Structure 1
Amino acid sequence: MSDKIRIGTRGSKLALWQAHHTQDRLSEAGIETELIIIKTQGDRIQHLSFDKMEGKGFFTKEIEDALLRNEIDVAVHSMKDLPTNSPEGLCITAVSYRENPADWLVIRKEKLDKAQDLWLPEKAVVGTSSARRKAQILDFRPDVEIKDIRGNVPTRLNKLREGQFDAILLAAAGMTRLKIEAEDLEILKFNPKEFIPAPAQGVLAWQTREEDKPTRRLLKHIHEKETAELTNIERKILNLLDGGCQMPLGAYCEKDPAGNYHVWAALADAWNAPLRRVQLSQSTKHQLAERVVEALHKS
């Protein structure tokens, strides 16, 4: 390890926010860092939706490869983009606090159907490239037209304002972290127990080489154990289903003040297939993910 920890990140505004947040947290612990920008497959290929792209790790593989080549010391990822199995030699060493995990529907105000007390007019054009979001919005509103949208958060909002869509689906975490002003738009804030987010949505993951003990020790200064406990359950559901970020799966876990675990999950066989929902609670996390997966298969 060099004197400075080298942090690998994508170059989008949100990815850079995540990287700067990492730098700030490490700086608080007296640790010096530098950023290295890496372009991923998901950044390069903008004309395809995720369900049409091959493999897993669209936003992570190139950063992981740089980590394996010892070109960086820490990879910072949006945890929901990270495959559940790390490449050999790498591991998730720490995770961040969780920002609001919900999805938000951002609507052009002139498209609000206030007369019928509906949040969208019939056959509204809704933008998202996520199979999970497609499946869930169609479960609520089978009449809407789904249209793929790519690009970073500001780019997507610009496409909405230009009239290419009536509404788009975005993660609350991205809009919150970027402090995006959207007074000209209407935002419908979904409850994550009803419109269920991707596993670990709103959480950052810090990945290192397994053998790099010094860096792993330093990252323990910024690790959020309670976040890890809940996201491990969500990601285990994804792992048991052998899914990637293109799987139409939502999984969200909470822990109440009494220490009980509550999981909400939704799964479809394809983005345009019927959605299956389950909710399970138990006093321990033992076999909780397995029970959720079993219930999804039976529902």
Structure 2
Amino acid sequence: MRIGTRGSRLALWQAHFVQEELSRHGIASELEIIKTQGDRVQHLGFDKLEGKGFFTKEIEDALLEGRIDCAVHSLKDLPTNQPEGLVLAALSYRASVEDVVLIHKDRATSGMPFSLPEGATIGTSSNRRKAILKDLHPGLLPVDIRGNVPTRMKKALSGELDAVVLAAAGLERLDLDLSEMTVVRTSPREFVPAPGQGVMAVQTREEDIEMRKKLSLLHHPIVGECTNVERTVLNLMQGGCSMPLGVYCEKDQLGNYHVWASYAPTASDPLRRVQVSQSTRAGLAERVVEELLSAPVA
């Protein structure tokens, strides 16, 4: 089995994880590293890159052309509408879903939101994170940053910036040493993560039934249910990676679904927040969108 992946350290960790899961089922595989637009263009923020799927399109093209058999993506990087001929065959376990603020030790200030003083610089290229930071701590100064997880982390570690915001999942999967920094873990119910955050997706060709059967051995159904709600909200909002939208869905032990969502038309606009719970997924995403668009601004 030929597995397509980006070449970043985190992408390779994810691809190797899928390899190991497949090997547990007696399926041998090899990796094919593919460079995407998002890898090549490092000087622009996400909102300046054209179109959707700038971390996935080249890999999906290789899949459609038969150069690889499946592809491993971060689910939050995938556009909600699959290219014709491709399907998601499996979703992984969900790692810690929250965002983490990493602060240079000399800049941490107790008693302030995120332990950051007024005027502190904080690195992120995500409009979602910028909108939430503006809502919770208007005095911060967001700075666009790109690069892989270790590169962005070093912006705060070196003191180039006072802090950066990164997904907990990437930090945990790479087992990065955070001991020299002040670490602030946010609540996903307040600092709402991106749809699908913390989940790996395995994609393959729709027509390849045998491959889909093999990959289905890796699928986590409850993760699929919850992220389907999150991504349906994103789809209904007609958004991509640059939309300031956070959606997080949990399923409790009684089978009820709980959704937290935040949205702003642009990163500088006031944030709207909703929390919706119901016993089934039927109409849940539609209800979230309806309430989000009519919610009073924060």
- In structure 2, what is the equivalent of residue 102 of structure 1? 98
Equivalent position SS for 1:158: helix
Picking from 160, 171, 174, the partner of 2:156 is 160
What amino acid does structure 1 have at the position aligned with 2:280? T
- In structure 1, what is the equivalent of residue 200 of structure 2? 204
Q: Deviations over 1:26-53 (max 9, x none)?
A: 0000000000000000000000000111
Q: Does 1:179 align with 2:189?
A: no
Q: List runs of 5+ in structure 1 lacking aligned partners.
A: none
Q: List runs of 5+ in structure 2 lacking aligned partners.
A: none
In structure 1, C-alpha distance between the alignment counterparts of 2:246 and 2:105, rounded to whole Å: 28
Cα 1:58–1:194 change in 2 (3 A) is same
In structure 2, C-alpha distance between the alignment counterparts of 1:116 and 1:17, rounded to whole Å: 35
- In structure 2, what is the equivalent of residue 17 of structure 1? 13
- In structure 1, what is the equivalent of residue 109 of structure 2? 113
* Kept after mapping to 1: 8 A contact 2:109/2:117: yes
* Identical counterparts, % of pairs: 58
How far off is 1:118 after superposition?
Answer: 6.5
* Kept after mapping to 1: 8 A contact 2:104/2:158: no
TM-score by length of 1: 0.97
How far off is 1:158 after superposition?
Answer: 1.6
In structure 2, C-alpha distance between the alignment counterparts of 1:112 and 1:161, rounded to whole Å: 12
How far off is 1:222 after superposition?
Answer: 0.7
Equivalent position SS for 1:234: helix
Equivalent position SS for 2:115: coil
- In structure 1, what is the equivalent of residue 186 of structure 2? 190
Equivalent position SS for 2:274: strand
In structure 2, C-alpha distance between the alignment counterparts of 1:113 and 1:6, rounded to whole Å: 49
What pairs up with 1:230-269 in 2 under 5 angstroms?
230-269=226-265
Cα 1:15–1:263 change in 2 (3 A) is same
In structure 1, C-alpha distance between the alignment counterparts of 2:93 and 2:247, rounded to whole Å: 17
Q: May I ask how many residue pairs the two structures share in their alignment?
A: 295
How far off is 1:54 after superposition?
Answer: 1.0
Picking from 59, 62, 70, the partner of 2:58 is 62
- In structure 2, what is the equivalent of residue 79 of structure 1? 75
In structure 2, C-alpha distance between the alignment counterparts of 1:171 and 1:269, rounded to whole Å: 22
Q: Deviations over 1:78-99 (max 9, x none)?
A: 0000000010100111100000
What amino acid does structure 2 have at the position aligned with 1:35? L
How far off is 1:114 after superposition?
Answer: 2.6
Q: Deviations over 1:50-77 (max 9, x none)?
A: 0111100010000000001100000100
In structure 2, C-alpha distance between the alignment counterparts of 1:267 and 1:117, rounded to whole Å: 20
In structure 1, C-alpha distance between the alignment counterparts of 2:160 and 2:75, rounded to whole Å: 29
Cα 1:47–1:116 change in 2 (3 A) is closer
In structure 1, C-alpha distance between the alignment counterparts of 2:240 and 2:115, rounded to whole Å: 31
Q: CA RMSD in A?
A: 1.0
Q: Deviations over 1:96-125 (max 9, x none)?
A: 000001000000110011376870011100
In structure 1, C-alpha distance between the alignment counterparts of 2:95 and 2:171, rounded to whole Å: 10
In structure 2, C-alpha distance between the alignment counterparts of 1:185 and 1:116, rounded to whole Å: 17
Q: Does 1:287 align with 2:253?
A: no
* Kept after mapping to 1: 8 A contact 2:87/2:203: yes
In structure 1, C-alpha distance between the alignment counterparts of 2:145 and 2:232, rounded to whole Å: 28
In structure 2, C-alpha distance between the alignment counterparts of 1:230 and 1:147, rounded to whole Å: 32
